[in-house]
Amino acid sequence: MLRFHHPLLCALLCAALTVPAVPAAAQTSDAAAPTALSGGGGGLVVGGVNVDVPGKSAIDARNNGWREAQRLAWPMLWARMSGQEAGSAPKLPDSALDSMVSAIEIEHEEAGPSRYVANLAVIFDRERAARYLGRYAALSTSPPLLLLPVLQDAGVRMAHEPHSPWLQAWARLRPGESPIDYIRIQPATADVFLLSAWQAERRHLNIWRAIVERYQVADILIPELILDRSWSGGPLNAQLILYFGPTRKEVGRVRLHNASGNVAALMDEAVRQADRAYIEALRSGHLLPDPELAEPPVQLVQADTGPAIGREATQAGLYSMRLRVLTPDDAALTRTMRQLQALPVVSAVRTVSYAPGGESVIELSASADLAVLRYHLDTQGLRIEGDRLRPRRTDETPLPAPIMSDEVTAGTAPGPAAAAPPSAATPETPPPATPGP
């Protein structure tokens, strides 16, 4: 795919080129491989603009074609951003369009001595186009949303497998061609396992939080395409179901048909339909990220009635440690996190990595020394062993409350643990006798 900057800026360059007298061969590009592309940067792309214009010369015909592409692309951009008919777009002079258009991409081109036929993509500058889009300019981009495209074909489900034609169809959608900021990845082996088709159906919130943090996105988009083949090479039918978020909130459904059996054409149409539905959901406020996916570390405020040792240790500062903990399922990790959050000496706790069925890693910030932390963990039935946090065994006796020093208890009422019991070997000294008059 060739990209040229604004036609008027490239006129001198075009004049130096030798234009063939016969129609040129089509200039196309191979489908881009899945990569980490974001629709939020760059310009606003309007593709699929067809022009067929005459000119006094080959160069004049090309310039006429590029200018005509600008005129056709502006109503298409307006309709995409506003949700209204293309005919309702404001009428703009060529000078305004010249200021907005930053580049022209050639998808297919045939140039003759006095005629220009091409399929072009027009790239609008975001900031300059915003002046004419008005209140619809706010829709120029969404929060970054991770794309998890699921394909079901003949009972086989796939997502980020490199040979998935559904994944390849999404890769052909250019960044900037949609106000949705699709985050598409170049899948490595770990991504294929992590972002599998079955992950799209799981409800484990901690796994989704780890995915959101790993790919630095706000939420997840799950377009699922169910393909129905009549026979090999025969007509194709498909159902497109569009989900949003780990809770699989349904955005829309579309039925698709391709009589010639062209899989790539059907999937390109499915991408366009999915993008249109997601844009409408964004416009209506139905693509708001789930705040639970970006859970910050829980900050705990110690109550005035808490243990004196916890209050005094807070003044000495915080320290943090990472611990491994067994997590057979999502509920086990949630239960452990709640136990830690309930401790008065724990200032913050967060999940560093989550491994269902294995050992997860948590980070814990404490406001007391290790002995005091061990005691409070023991009250919740937990023990630290090396770098592991484990449940207390039934044969283990509870830890005694630590004895506070005079420096720690200065200015505070001593608790039961701080009061030293009288020694049995030392008899109590009777009070001195009061002298008589």
Is residue 22 one of the residues assigned to a domain? yes
Give yes or no: residues 153 and 243 share one domain.
Answer: yes
Q: Which of 358, 377, 356, 355 is nearest to 366 (CA)?
A: 377
Phi-psi region of 411 (alpha: psi -120 to 50; beta: other; left: phi over 0): left
Is residue 431 one of the residues assigned to a domain? no
* The residue to which tokens 């706790």 are assigned: 349
- Residue 152 exposure: Cα atoms within 13 Å on the Cβ side: 15
Give yes or no: residues 245 and 224 share one domain.
Answer: yes
Q: Which of 330, 326, 320 is nearest to 373 (CA)?
A: 320
Is residue 333 one of the residues assigned to a domain? yes
Is residue 405 one of the residues assigned to a domain? yes
Is residue 209 one of the residues assigned to a domain? yes
Is residue 50 one of the residues assigned to a domain? yes
Among residues 85, 106, 139, which one ends one of the domains? Answer: 139
Reported as a single tens digit per residue, the pLDDT across 260-272 is 889 999 999 999 9
Claim: this prediction has a pTM higher than 0.85: no
Give yes or no: residues 20 and 106 share one domain.
Answer: yes
CATH of the domain at 343: 3.30.70
Among residues 295, 326, 361, which one ends one of the domains? Answer: 295
Three-class SS of 317-377: CCEEEEEEEEECCHHHHHHHHHHHHCCCCEEEEEEEECCCCEEEEEEEEECCCHHHHHHHH
Give yes or no: residues 266 and 165 share one domain.
Answer: yes
The answer to whether the CB of 377 falls within 8 A of the CB of 383 is yes
CATH of the domain at 159: 3.40.50
Give yes or no: residues 278 and 198 share one domain.
Answer: yes
Local confidence pLDDT in tens for the 437 residues of the chain:
444 444 433 433 333 333 333 223 332 333 333 333 444 445 788 888 999 999 999 999 999 999 999 999 999 888 877 778 888 888 999 988 998 898 888 888 888 899 999 999 898 887 888 888 877 766 556 788 999 999 998 888 999 988 899 999 999 888 777 888 898 888 888 888 888 898 888 878 888 888 888 888 889 999 999 998 878 778 999 999 999 998 899 999 999 999 888 999 999 999 999 998 998 888 777 888 887 786 544 433 333 333 333 333 333 456 778 888 888 877 788 888 888 988 888 888 888 777 766 788 888 888 878 888 889 899 989 998 888 899 988 888 888 888 754 444 343 334 444 444 444 444 444 555 545 44
Is residue 344 one of the residues assigned to a domain? yes
Is residue 247 one of the residues assigned to a domain? yes
Number of domains the chain is built from: 3
Q: Which of 295, 392, 299, 377 is nearest to 340 (CA)?
A: 377
pLDDT at residue 318, rounded to an integer: 66
Among residues 89, 112, 139, which one ends one of the domains? Answer: 139
The answer to whether the CB of 101 falls within 8 A of the CB of 6 is yes
pLDDT at residue 140, rounded to an integer: 53
Range of the domain at 337: 298-409
Give yes or no: residues 133 and 146 share one domain.
Answer: no
